[in-house]
Amino acid sequence: MYNLLMNITNEMKLEIIHILKMKKFLGIEHISSINFTSQNSHTSILPNEMKSLEEYVNNCSLCTLYKSKESTFFSIGNENSDIFVIGLDYDFDDEKMFLIVKKMFENTLKININDIYMTNILKCKSKINKNNLDDEVAKCISYLEMQILILKPKMIITLGKSFEYIMKNNEKIINISGNIYNFKDIKLIPLLDPLFINQNPSYKEKMVKDLQKIKNILDTK
């Protein structure tokens, strides 16, 4: 037993603590074993109902972001929407950001922004500014996958870098935006980062063309 404990990494210790904490949160008092053979061993205990999943996320301590988080952002918009918009760590609650996205979708897609479901891969809103968020994404992406599994959207639109993590595709977003991909039998279309477009208006025409492709797909349903 001593040798087994010595072989457990700090990361595994954190995950064990998280799993035990969240099982207690879910009202599970006894656990027979913890399996670390999968990348995200806590996925198997995630709630399959949105309200419970959101509460679970609000209490998450899996990665380092929770130590400095100001709040959590689970989602905004219509859970019954056919369109599921995913960012990496956007502050959709921020008025400026919300208006940028609102204008982008409503002007071309002609869909009320409140009728679109929007979320992030990373749920913690933190002041930490890191160039590499791979570890944090690896811990958090299972929550997004469960959101998709529960809501079953007909189309996923990724914004900016979120495409890379969801599709495990390192191609430059400028070269692939507007293309159609398959994610678990759901149409997935990557778009450029709306903040990038706002700061670089010369790419606005490219964004409009990509959005028009999406509108054409929606209009043919």
Alpha carbon distance 146, 142 (integer Å)? 6
Residues spanned by the domain of 160: 71-219
- 18, part of any domain: no
- In this predicted structure, what is the pLDDT of residue 183? 96
Task: Look up tokens 């929550």; give the residue.
Answer: 143
Is 156 a member of any domain?
yes
Q: Is residue 148 part of a domain?
A: yes
List the Cα angle 93/72/190 in 5-degree steps. Answer: 65
CATH of the domain at 166: 3.40.470.10
Q: Is residue 28 part of a domain?
A: no
Count structural domains, the chain: 1
Q: Is 41 within the bounds of a domain? A: no
pLDDT at 4: 44
Report yes or no on 104 lying in a domain: yes
Task: Kindly list the distances between the CA atom of residue 111 and the CA atoms of 12, 108, 115, 221, in Å, as whole numbers in the listed order.
Answer: 44, 8, 7, 15
Q: Quick one: what percent of the chain has pLDDT higher than 70?
A: 80
Is the predicted pLDDT of residue 30 greater than 80, yes or no?
no
Is the residue at 90 inside a domain? yes
